[in-house]
Amino acid sequence: MAENTYLIRGAAILGGDAEDLLIHDGVIAARGNGAATHEAAADATVIEAAGLVALPGMVDIHTHLREPGREDAETVETGTRAAALGGYTAVHAMANSNPVADTAGVVEQVHSLGRASGWVDVRPVGAVTVGLAGEQLAELGAMADSRAQVRVFSDDGICVHDPVLMRRALEYVKAFDGVVAQHAQEPRLTAGAQMNEGAVSAVLGLGGWPAVAEESIIARDVLLAQHVGSRLHVCHVSTAGSVEIIRWAKSRGIDVTAEVTPHHLLLTDELVRSYDPVYKVNPPLRTETDVLALREALADSTIDVIGTDHAPHPSEHKECEWAQAAMGMTGLETALSVVQETMIETGLMGWADFARVTSTVPARIGRLEDQGRPLEAGEPANIILVDPAARWTVDPYKMATMGRNSPFKGRELPGAVIATFFKGHPTVLDGKLNAPYRHPETASAVSGN
């Protein structure tokens, strides 16, 4: 049997009718009735996929891989293993590493680590400002022109709060079709903030992170994007008010896209009553009203994409007092299941919509040409097979990520990734890691050693 040929039998493509898919040499060679009789199919490894849904490989617009600098939290290798297991074929690695990804050198390092790992495409995000300090533009053009081909720029974790700097960044990235992904958080309104400001924070005596601190920045930024005619992406939208502002901006034709995390679609600030820092995240868990508004916005495309904001932390940064704990949650290995639970099982979306928000549109925002493509003959074979009937209980200690900080620990969720094909190669088979893809130049480099 040929190693580069797979015949997927009877998968429900985007949740539709059962059809065959033939993968050969990294591309979809045939779809439907002609697949099994295609000349390449003779040598194919057959994968029986009855009952499984075939989807385009997921693309995460917002991932923290922590390397370089915090290899005790995650590495490109472990983070991308987690991504492949979660159904991803591409991730955008956020810039808040150490050193910060604010030069061509650092983004090229992350890019080559990703290629060497071979589990997914790793697309580095470049910092907007030098050292994420919010004072001076980083060399955005150099990062765009580097081998990493950076198109998404973000100071994520920190808001580009200076309105002039934000305006300049939005304008400047037009030169290379880039986008600024804003972490919308007014810093003065969130000094010392520990959780959503509202009924629960009042009782718990934890510093409030008011919705207005997010909404005021989004309102300003959409107006700036309109003024200078730029593309804006809003990271991890978390409030009902933000949804309204983005809906208004889109109705005016402003070129804004927005993401929501899986955890903001499921969890609320009621969980903070436990004072368990596994629920500490930025932006914070909000209220039931916000959760429902975010789901509705994702269903009607006001919010465009799912971004995991996968943020692994070493356990000592969570096994402490709430105020001392780091913000962030892991998400790569639970994203599909949480979105299935909150959007598909609730009837708000079908699997075709799922493909749009987890693959097609995030690939378009990041300008990834061979990701998020239709499952048609001639297209790159980035494909996942999902068992929507599976149910499993989340155990952070069984995950590939080094982070044990999953807020879904102990929760039963639907849906399991059975296989992930990255460039026609199965990185995941039978729900387990198989083997990484070897890029041609990496393969020769390895054999040369």
Q: Which of 37, 98, 274, 393 binds another protein (CB under 8 A)?
A: 274
Shortest separation between residue 223's beta carbon and another protein, angstroms: 26
| DSSP per-residue codes, 362-377 | HHHHTT-TTSS--S-T
Q: Does 203 bind another protein (CB under 8 A)?
A: yes
Comparison of 270 and 369: residue with beta carbon closer to another protein: 270
Could you tell me how many residues of this chain bind another protein (CB under 8 A)? Answer: 35
Shortest separation between residue 75's beta carbon and another protein, angstroms: 24
Orientation of helix 440-448 relative to helix 104-117, angle to 10°: 80
Comparison of 107 and 265: residue with beta carbon closer to another protein: 265
Q: Which of 142, 204, 228, 429 binds another protein (CB under 8 A)?
A: 204
Q: Does 410 bind another protein (CB under 8 A)?
A: no
Q: Does 186 bind another protein (CB under 8 A)?
A: no
- Segment near another protein (CB under 8 A), from 9-17, 33-41, 73-81, 288-296? 288-296
Report the C-alpha dihedral over residues 111, 117, 122, 128, rounded to 10 degrees: -40
Cα four-point dihedral sign 276, 282, 284, 289: negative
List all residues 6 or more positions away from 379 whose beta carbon is below 8 Å from its beta carbon: 27, 28, 373
Q: Does 201 bind another protein (CB under 8 A)?
A: yes
Comparison of 366 and 388: residue with beta carbon closer to another protein: 388
**Residue 116 tokens, joined:** 């060497």
Shortest separation between residue 207's beta carbon and another protein, angstroms: 8
- Segment near another protein (CB under 8 A), from 9-17, 340-348, 428-436, 441-449? 340-348
- Segment near another protein (CB under 8 A), from 106-114, 133-141, 287-295, 364-372? 287-295
- Segment near another protein (CB under 8 A), from 214-222, 272-280, 383-391, 437-445? 272-280
Q: Where are the alpha helices (DSSP H) in 205-239?
A: 211-228
Comparison of 139 and 276: residue with beta carbon closer to another protein: 276
Q: Does 145 bind another protein (CB under 8 A)?
A: no
For the chain, the residue count is: 449
List all residues 6 or more positions away from 390 whose beta carbon is below 8 Å from its beta carbon: 414, 415, 416
Strand partners, 412: 393
Cα four-point dihedral sign 57, 58, 62, 67: negative
Report the candidate in 308, 231, 202, 213 with the shortest Cα–Cα distance to residue 265. Answer: 308
Q: Does 409 bind another protein (CB under 8 A)?
A: no
Report the C-alpha dihedral over residues 86, 104, 237, 254, rounded to 10 degrees: -120
Q: Does 292 bind another protein (CB under 8 A)?
A: yes
Question: By the 8 A CB rule, do 53 and 59 touch?
Answer: no
CA distances from 264 to 67, 192, 294, 342 (A): 25, 21, 8, 10
- Here's the x/- map for another protein, 82-121, by CB under 8 A: it reads as ----------------------------------------
Can 221 be counted among the known catalytic residues? Answer: no
Shortest separation between residue 273's beta carbon and another protein, angstroms: 5
Q: Which of 71, 139, 276, 296 binds another protein (CB under 8 A)?
A: 276
Q: Does 393 bind another protein (CB under 8 A)?
A: no
Q: Does 230 bind another protein (CB under 8 A)?
A: no
Q: Does 288 bind another protein (CB under 8 A)?
A: yes
Question: By the 8 A CB rule, do 140 and 172 touch?
Answer: yes
Comparison of 37 and 346: residue with beta carbon closer to another protein: 346
Distance CA 111, CA 94 (A): 12
Q: Which of 316, 369, 376, 395 binds another protein (CB under 8 A)?
A: 316
Distance CA 391, CA 319 (A): 29
Catalytic residue among 156, 309, 353, 387: 309
Shortest separation between residue 88's beta carbon and another protein, angstroms: 25
Please compute, for residue 436, the number of CA atoms within 13 A of its CA located in the half-sphere on the CB side.
21
Distance CA 185, CA 74 (A): 25
Strand partners, 91: 60, 122
Q: Residues interacting with another protein, by CB under 8 A?
A: 194, 197-206, 208, 210, 266-268, 270-271, 273-276, 288, 291-292, 316, 319-324, 341-342, 346
Any idea which residues carry the catalytic annotation? Answer: 309
